[in-house]
Amino acid sequence: MKKFGIIALIILIALAAIFIRSATRQQSSETEAVAATIKAVEVMKAPRGEIRSELQLSGTIEANSRVTVFPEVPGKIIQMDVDEGAKVTKGQTLAVIEHAELALQVRQAETALWAAETTLDQAQKLAKIRVQSQIDRAKAQLTSTTVALQQVEDLSQTRTTSQVEQAKAGLESLKANLEKIKRGARDEDLRQAEAALAGAKASLTNARNNHKRMKQLFENDAISKQSFESAKTQLDIAKSQYEVANEQRALIRNGAREEDIQAMEAQVAQAEAALKLVYAQADTKTWEKDRALAQSQVEGARATLEAAEALAAAKSWEAEIIAAETALEQANIALKLAQERLGDATITAPITGILSMSYLDLGGLASPTAPLFEIVDMDTVKATVSVIEADLSKLDPKNQEAWIEVDALAQPVTGKISLISPVLDQASRSAKVEITIDNAGLRLKPGMFAKVRIPVEIHENAILLPRSAVIEDNVKKVQTVFVVADGRSRRRQVEMGLAAGSRVEITNGLSEGEQVVIAGQHTLKDGEEVTVVSP
């Protein structure tokens, strides 16, 4: 009986153990099933930071300026001072073209300038004096012509009448002497012959003096040539009468021969012809023409005087000085042009930069139509890109910053927008934009390919999330994220702002520091229990 009780106790203990193990297994299974329904997620605290919206463009590095140097004058290159690749500064001599002829032109212009200066100096000193001298000469000329007119008036008609009377008297004397010779000479006839000779001599003297005065008047254009020739004719007649009177006296004194009588008759005939000539000259009234000519000379002299006085009243010397000043200015300009032309024979660098190309060598023939050098300024370069019409409004033309990447540099460099073209290319509907870059080390070379990023909008204190954390519903047009609070997921509808690369800005629906699910969110439901695991 006692043994049976022990066996029963053992059986009861065994049954109890089996019950307890079964209950434990069931509880463990239930725990594992519950644990299997809790989802694991990765989270991050929503931070604040800077985000930028950028234009990403491709372009080319270009020199800040590229200048092709042409010679201004043709000729052989006699001096070459720089080689390709050398750095040059603005104004530095690059080459010299032969210029001997140009130097002579400068000397010629200098001489012309000296002459113009001398002319101006003389005009300033003498112009007024010359005008007064013209007045004085005009007054003297008027006086001279007035005196000549008076002489013409005094001599013209009287002289002609006297010539007629003299010729008549000479003829009568010859006739009388001829009669005396024919009938024989007497003492009284000899005295008359000597008196006639004395009268002929006096007439000859008067004729010579008259001829001298008439010659002077003729040389001064105060009488006509006809009047002067008339005076000469009168002189010839007086000479002839004197010779005849001298011969008559000799005939009367010595007695006449037949041939002497014939000669005397010829002289009478000659005197009669001379008297007819004098009458003919008297009929032409040449003194009236002489008076008119002399009067016209007086009027001309008076007009000259009035013109000179008018020049003085108008201060014409001032115009002469102005003309001399103008000539001096023209000579100055001519000299400057010649000097500039001579200076053009020396080729200088128009900008500071690198001599990238030399087209001719020493001794080559330069021509204004062919380039001589090329210079590039590489201290600053520019990245040139094309921006489409829709993005132009996003750019700020006032030194907006940009980032430039080239394969030759490990790090991007910064630049600033310096030019936005005011016109668009019609084919591409884009505008050229230039970004200036400091290139002090000359690391950037013209022709390099450049990737350009231009920030067009910057938010400095924005809530930022990875783009993958945002679930977008394209049907409802909403964006959501999951946050974890108290071990459970919470769906939040959010609004996005800027996007840059893998990051987006959350402008509404999320606060800084909240735990946002960044992995496992696509299978979550709102309110589910979650467990946070490390990434």
Query: For every one of its 535 residues, what pLDDT tens digit does the chain have, with 9 covering 90 and above?
Result: 444 456 655 666 666 556 555 555 554 444 444 445 788 889 999 899 888 878 889 999 999 888 999 999 999 999 998 988 899 999 999 999 999 899 999 999 999 999 988 888 887 776 667 667 777 776 777 677 777 667 666 655 555 555 666 666 666 666 666 566 655 555 566 676 777 777 777 777 887 887 787 777 777 776 666 666 667 777 777 777 777 777 766 666 665 555 556 666 666 676 666 666 666 655 555 556 666 777 777 777 778 767 766 666 656 667 777 888 899 899 999 999 999 999 999 999 999 989 989 999 999 999 999 999 999 998 899 999 999 998 888 887 777 889 999 998 889 999 999 899 999 988 889 999 999 999 888 889 899 999 999 888 888 888 989 988 899 888 888 999 999 988 899 999 999 988 887 889 888 989 888 999 988 888 888 889 999 887 6
Structure tokens at 500: 């840059």
CA angle 47, 51, 55 (to 5 degrees): 160
259 and 144 in a single domain? The answer is yes
Question: Quick check: is 521 in a domain?
Answer: yes
Predicted local distance difference test score (pLDDT) of residue 199: 76
Residues 174 and 48 in one domain: no
Quote the pLDDT of residue 487: 87
DSSP structure class, residue 365 = E
Task: Tell which residue, 283, 261, 276, 247, has the closest CA to residue 167.
Answer: 276
Q: What is the DSSP string of 382-402?
A: EEEEEEEGGGGGG--TTT-EE
Residues 48 and 189 in one domain: no
Final residue in a domain of this structure, among 313, 328, 350: 313
For the chain, report the end-to-end CA distance as a whole number of angstroms.
69
Query: Is 99 within the bounds of a domain?
Result: no
Q: Both 158 and 292 in a single domain?
A: yes
Does residue 281 form part of some domain? yes
Assigned domain for 116 exists: yes
Same domain, 219 and 140: yes
Residues 290 and 172 in one domain: yes
Q: Is residue 443 included in any domain, yes or no? A: no
| Residue 196 and residue 48 share a domain | no
Query: Would you state the pLDDT for residue 384?
Result: 93
Q: Helix 187-219 and helix 225-254: axis angle, to 10°?
A: 160
Same domain? 46 vs 191: no
Whether residue 287 lies inside any domain: the answer is yes
Among candidate residues 377, 354, 358, the one with its CA nearest the CA of residue 80:
358
| Domain end position, chosen among 313, 331, 349 | 313
Range of the domain at 467: 41-52+459-532
Q: What is the CATH number of the domain that holds 481?
A: 2.40.420.20
d(CA 189, CA 177): 8
Task: Measure the CA–CA gap between 136 and 138, rounded to whole angstroms.
Answer: 5
Separation CA 90–CA 69 (nearest Å): 12
482 vs 488: CA distance, rounded Å = 10
Are 149 and 225 contained in the same domain?
yes
- Single residue among 251, 282, 313 that ends a domain in this structure: 313
Give CA separation, 190 vs 186, 242, 271, in Å: 6, 16, 21
Counting the structural domains of the chain, the total is 2
155 and 47 part of one domain:
no
Alpha carbons within 13 A on the beta-carbon side of 442: 7
Same domain, 134 and 236: yes
The answer to pTM > 0.85 is: no
Indicate whether 184 belongs to any domain: yes
Q: Are residues 46 and 141 in the same domain?
A: no
Whether 420 is covered by a domain: the verdict is: no
